[in-house]
A and B are shown apart, each in its own frame.
Chain A
Amino acid sequence: MTEPTIYELSSPGRRGVRYPDSDVPQAPLPTDFIRKDLPMPELSELDVVRHFTNLSKLNYSIDGGFYPLGSCTMKYNPKVNEQTARLPGLAFTHPLQPVETVQGDLALMFELQEWLKEISGFASMTLQPAAGAQGEFVGVMIIRAYHLSRHDTKRKKILIPDSAHGTNPATSAMAGFDVVGVPSDARGNVDLEELKKVCDDQVAGLMLTNPNTLGLFDENVLEVIKIVHEAGGLIYGDGANMNALLGIARPGDLGIDVMHFNLHKTFSTPHGGGGPGSGPVGVAKHLADFLPAPIVDIIEEGDEDTPPLYGFVTPSKTIGRVKSFYGHFGMLVRTYTYIAMHGPDGMRKIAENAVLNANYLLSLVRDKYHLAYDRICMHEFVVEGHWGDAPEVHALDISKRLMDYNFHPPTNYFPLIVPEALMIEPTETETKQTIEAFANALNKIADEAHSDPQLLKDAPHNTPIGRLDEVRAAKELVLCCWMPEQNA
């Protein structure tokens, strides 16, 4: 049962709002600007409320159920974050206000920069990037600016391990670099011998996801960093998997030069439609001058009686502004709340429990699912959604069947180095019971794959809409659900 579109619910003349009579003289519009028809849906307020409430019930969300989407860190978003972000003193400030009148906002941003620096081991931080992908772009542009500032113009390559996030090669290409892949070794680490072969004076840097997309901590991380640094390249750290490291290892201490955070992953701000995202970027000292402008800093030191005066500064060799105003401030408030609430010991516990939960879940399903790299995992793990004795069943079928058990599917078909990959990340916020229920569903599906594979091929059966035709959806792009005939 699906909900009709709002146009289908429309009834001519129905109104939800009545405008008061105009109390200003009418000003005629130029006639060519006036459309004959304005096909807007006409509904009562109750029609609209019911329509969107019904649509929201068809949606799946972290507030409604378990969401083990690997690499996305779909942890619970605490409601207290929403309360603080709505505090009038924070919610109703405007980015064009004089800085003297928004000292509270700036103090929060400054303190958050300091906390993120402490968590990551970096010297400087920008809060501007609008999401993780933009954070990556900023980081790679900083790497580029660094080499150019040294008149080192031959560095045109960025190395990308095959266990990196898919955004890494996209970012490098968008920043104008040639992407060179580096394979993994048999334990799922960056293959050091292969890395040495491609490291030369044309390498601008390497983008390292650690833990990588296999959910494994790269055991050679220090060696990888050393090899790239010795070739004159820099190391970009993809902070998307930071949830596994909080309070345990600091990327800056490992020798990583620049890294983005995903506040909407690690620090519990909402994802996607509930977002927006936020991707602060931290850099080591030698890159601090290249950060995007402006950055919040203390302009005048305070004393016992007077708080410091906060303002904006522009790093001397800045790559420029990358976002209007100062980033997604509402996300910064939520992150500040989350970090303040947990404190340093809590940060470490988050990572410990994320890793513990992933390993517990792995232990419950590993008898039935082939594990590509047999190691203790970090915050997530990758199994193969495929069996030699049930050849017609693929990872996608398992995922669709999970929906019948009321679970969101895990990430499918990534990383590409694992055939039929199912990438599963439970996060620290799930209970033992939820993890066990999910494991039971996965194991039951593994049995069904052998006893009744068609059940999986036809899934989902219990959702408002059944199996979608993904091939047709990819080939016949229709980006508008309904085009009014008048304007077609």
Chain B
Amino acid sequence: MNIPENLKFAQSDEWVKLEGNIATIGISDFAQEQLSDIVYVEITVASGDKVKKNSLVATMESVKAAADVNSPVSGTITEINDDLANAPETVNSDPFGKAWLVKLEVDDPSELDALMDASAYQSYCSNRSH
């Protein structure tokens, strides 16, 4: 399982990458694998929207299930990834790259301290799979 070192992870399997005060958010490789083939992605926020920690930013549907994606940090949306609507399978093929969902300007970078680093997330994932 692929887990990039420079990211932070939420228990609900979203990843966050902080560059300056801009956070990029997506779902992890583990999450896309659990969901299996993703057939629908809807980003439920728009640029300029304020989001709170753990509030909804996107919903996804796979052939197995539907899942909410929540922002692990609070802030103001600066960009959303429009490409996913027409190519939801990108979430399966490149969850940490092309399949980023939203970017936001974070209110408080220290919110990231509560999230897991790559090694903590690695063990969190292996505890859940048999």
Contacts and interface: CB of A to CB of B under 8 A. Distances in A.
Given A412-B64, A413-B64, A413-B65, A474 B40 contact: yes
Contacts of A394: 36
Given A384-B130, A388-B130, A474 B63 contact: yes
B65 A387 contact: no
B34 interface: yes
A471 interface: yes
A419 B39 contact: no
Contact of A474 (B34, B39, B129): B39
A413 B63 CA distance: 10
Interface string A384-397: 10111000001010
A370 interface: yes
A94 interface: no
Contacts of A412: 64
Nearest to B89: A471
Interface in A378-418: 384, 386-388, 394, 396, 412-413, 416
Interface in B63-94: 63-65, 88-89
B42 interface: no
A475 interface: yes
Given A471-B37, A474-B39, A416 B65 contact: yes
User: For the complex, would chain A's binding face be called helix, strand, loop or mixed by DSSP majority?
Assistant: mixed
A370 B130 contact: yes
Nearest to A475: B39
B130 A470 contact: no
B128 A419 contact: yes
A182 to B, nearest CB: 15
Contacts of B107: none
B34 A419 contact: yes
A396 B37 CA distance: 12
B117 interface: no
A471 B64 contact: no
A471 B64 CA distance: 10
A470 B88 CA distance: 14
B60 to A, nearest CB: 12
Contacts of B64: 396, 412-413
A378 B39 CA distance: 35
B129 A419 contact: yes
B63 A470 contact: yes
A271 B57 CA distance: 37
B37 to A, nearest CB: 4
Interface in A447-477: 470-471, 474-475
Interface in A347-403: 370, 384, 386-388, 394, 396
Contacts of B88: 475
A413 B130 CA distance: 16
Contacts of A384: 130
Per CB-CB distance, the 8 closest pairs between chain A and chain B, nearest first, are A474-B39, A470-B63, A413-B64, A471-B37, A388-B130, A475-B39, A474-B63, A416-B65
Interface of B: 34, 36-37, 39-40, 61, 63-65, 88-89, 128-130
Interface of A: 370, 384, 386-388, 394, 396, 412-413, 416, 419, 470-471, 474-475
5 contacts: A370-B130, A394-B36, A471-B37, A471-B63, A475-B40
